[in-house]
């Protein structure tokens, strides 16, 4: 049973470009969470989605960030007009309702 | 509201010595508690979780943790450290219901160093 998959693993964007991060949950999991880890810090919750629904986006920045989890396909975290401060590791986790299992993360570098 | 405090951002032990990583939590609702381990440039791996069953929880790689409600603690221990245990360890708390309560709130992490 494949674990949580994220791609790309590393992403470099220039300031002002868009970043798209993908997350495929474990088979049978319908809950997806996105977290951000800034250098030398713990993980901070961003958004929680179930299929086609955003359940909790209390950790998402108000502008430039959006997330979706369509009926078919992976969950997408989208960052528009990236800035240097967006450089971080972005992790998604999936759950069937008990315990969250994390992907390997996408490391975003904004130059 | 929930929060987690991990005492000691860096802990160093000798190989074969006891590992003790401290975690205290604050929660206005009955909590679920978790320990995760992160190796360099990798994702988080679930070590163990407390979900209101037994207060002493055994996890992978010989780790265990005890939930103590009176002390609001969930410290992680391992009797004998191995070099491969060197990593960053995160304690996390969530609510026990689904929905918005299920998001994880993490501590700032403890970096474990194991020396010969």
Inter-residue contact B93 to B25 (CB < 8 Å): yes
Question: Does B102 touch chain A if contact means CB atoms closer than 8 Å?
Answer: yes
Lowest mean pLDDT among A9-18, A101-110, B96-105: B96-105
The count of other CB atoms within 10 Å of the CB of residue A29 is 16
Closest C-alpha among A10, A6, A9, A12 to residue A34: A6
Give the pLDDT of residue B27.
87
Residues B9-41 have pLDDT tens digits of: 999 999 999 999 999 999 887 889 999 999 987
**Is pLDDT above 80 for A1?**
no
Between chains, do B43 and A105 touch, taking CB under 8 Å as contact? yes
The better pLDDT of the pair A99, A8 is held by A8
Residue B43 — φ and ψ, nearest 5°? -80, -175
**Is pLDDT above 70 for B100?**
no
Between chains, do A56 and B98 touch, taking CB under 8 Å as contact? no
**Is pLDDT above 80 for B98?**
no
Q: Tell me the C-alpha distance between B3 and A57, whole Å.
A: 18
Give the pLDDT of residue B52.
79
Query: Closest Cα of chain B to A98: distance in Å?
Result: 9
Query: Closest Cα of chain A to B98: distance in Å?
Result: 7
Q: Tell me the C-alpha distance between B33 and B67, whole Å.
A: 8
Q: What does pLDDT average to over chain B?
A: 92
Distances (CA, A) of B90 to A20, A75, A105, A107, B110: 27, 25, 16, 19, 7
Q: Tell me the C-alpha distance between A80 and B25, whole Å.
A: 35
For A88, the closest chain B residue by CA position comes to B41
Query: Closest Cα of chain A to B104: distance in Å?
Result: 7
Between chains, do A35 and B104 touch, taking CB under 8 Å as contact? yes
Of A41, A58, A104, Cβ closest to residue B43: A104
> Helix, strand, or coil here: B100?
helix
Largest CA distance in chain A: 38
Residue A61 — φ and ψ, nearest 5°? -55, 145
Give the pLDDT of residue B102.
85
Give the pLDDT of residue A42.
81
Strand B2-7: give its sheet, edge to edge.
Answer: B2-7, B19-27, B73-78, B64-68, B56-58
**Is pLDDT above 80 for B62?**
yes
For A10, the closest chain B residue by CA position comes to B41
Give the pLDDT of residue B95.
82
Q: Tell me the C-alpha distance between A99 and A29, whole Å.
A: 11
Q: Tell me the C-alpha distance between B78 and B20, whole Å.
A: 7
Q: What is the mean pLDDT of residues A6-23?
A: 97
Lowest mean pLDDT among A13-17, A45-49, B21-25, B96-100: B96-100
Of B36, B42, B103, Cβ closest to residue A48: B103
Of B41, B43, B99, Cβ closest to residue A103: B43
Between chains, do A33 and B36 touch, taking CB under 8 Å as contact? no
**Percent of chain B at pLDDT exceeding 70:** 97
Question: Does B42 touch chain A if contact means CB atoms closer than 8 Å?
Answer: yes
A25 interaction partners in chain B (CB closer than 8 Å): none
Q: Which residue bears the tokens 């986790």? A: A93
Question: Does B104 touch chain A if contact means CB atoms closer than 8 Å?
Answer: yes
């Amino acid at each position: 049973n494949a674990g949580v998959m994220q791609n790309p693993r590393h992403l470099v964007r220039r300031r002002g470009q868009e970043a798209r991060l993908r997350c495929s949950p474990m088979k049978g999991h319908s809950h997806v969470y996105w977290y951000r880890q800034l250098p030398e810090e713990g993980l901070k919750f961003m958004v929680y989605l179930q299929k086609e629904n955003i359940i909790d986006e209390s950790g998402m920045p108000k502008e430039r960030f959006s997330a979706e989890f369509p009926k078919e396909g992976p969950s997408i975290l989208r960052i528009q007009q990236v800035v240097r401060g967006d450089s971080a590791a972005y992790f998604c986790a999936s759950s069937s309702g008990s315990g969250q299992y994390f992907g390997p993360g996408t490391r975003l570098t904004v130059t | 509201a929930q929060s987690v405090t991990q005492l000691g951002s860096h802990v160093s032990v000798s190989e074969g010595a006891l590992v003790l990583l401290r975690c205290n939590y604050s929660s206005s609702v009955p909590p679920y508690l978790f320990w995760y381990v992160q190796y360099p440039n990798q994702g988080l791996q679930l070590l163990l979780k407390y979900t209101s069953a037994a207060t002493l929880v055994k996890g992978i790689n010989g780790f265990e943790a005890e939930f103590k409600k009176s002390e609001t603690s969930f410290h992680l221990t391992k009797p004998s450290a191995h070099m491969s245990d060197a990593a960053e360890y995160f304690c996390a708390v969530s609510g026990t219901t689904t929905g918005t309560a299920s998001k994880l709130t993490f501590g700032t992490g403890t970096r474990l160093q194991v020396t010969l």
